[in-house]
Amino acid sequence: MDYQAILQRIFYETRPMFTQGKVADYIPALASIDPSRYGISVVSIDQSAYHIGDAHIPFSIQSISKVFSFTLAYKHRGDDIWNRIGKESSGTAFNSLIQLEYENGIPRNPFINAGAIVVADILLDIFPDPLQEMLRFVRQLAGDATIHYNPVVAASERIYGHRNLALAHFMKSFGNIHHDVDQVLEIYFHQCAIEMTSSQLATAFLYLANNGINPQDGVQILDSSRAKRLKALMLTTGLYNESSEFAFRVGMPGKSGVGGGIAALIPDLLSMVVWSPPLNSMGNSVVGFEALERFTTYLGKSVF
């Protein structure tokens, strides 16, 4: 399969569509991103890599990081994690407080903000320094020690993270946050501020495409059962309220972030990342969504 030819076709067909979206501006550090940035990376299980556009320019991965933090927590806590986090689509905005009132402080899934904040709380139970462990883990998956937190983005997240602060305090009132709220949110804000290129990110997602095993070093990150369940969560909840539409049109487990990235995969074949900052009304990259739909259409492969 000529992946490079497919990427070139998609890139030039979809590039003008960035004008249909708007760069996230509720986090000021993201508001200044050039909206015309656009990169695509595909990495296959045998680690053959294909790139086009701005594939080697770092960007803030934001909520895509929730896959990595959840992997760490799930690896160590197993099914006990479901005592504190659900597995269902939320049906509300990714930063909504409404359901927490009705459901006694238990977030619907680990990929909405409330769920990821609970995951950060769990990581404090597991690791003496979750921030250091998170960075070590992401660097291991990507095979790149240069990956880092962007302190400006982390600070901007902290200053303007009033809704996340409310979510954390609300869940603590129900007993679902065990540690100091500020300490928990420091982890959450920093994980959202990880900077990676689409090339690094596509490589980092290979363990999920490879049944839980990192193909770079043969290390089993998750057992096959947990890898399966994580991919199911990505398919059903990974793009917030647009997850069903993404499954219908694209047919890949995926995770988006308001930095404009979408990471997705086809099991036993490849992982793929598209980065284009302008977002639609659901908080997902306009161009990224379209590019991924065309990719599975032109490739003739998806999880279905």
- Catalytic residue annotation: 63, 66, 188, 240, 258
CB 138 within 8 A of CB 144: no
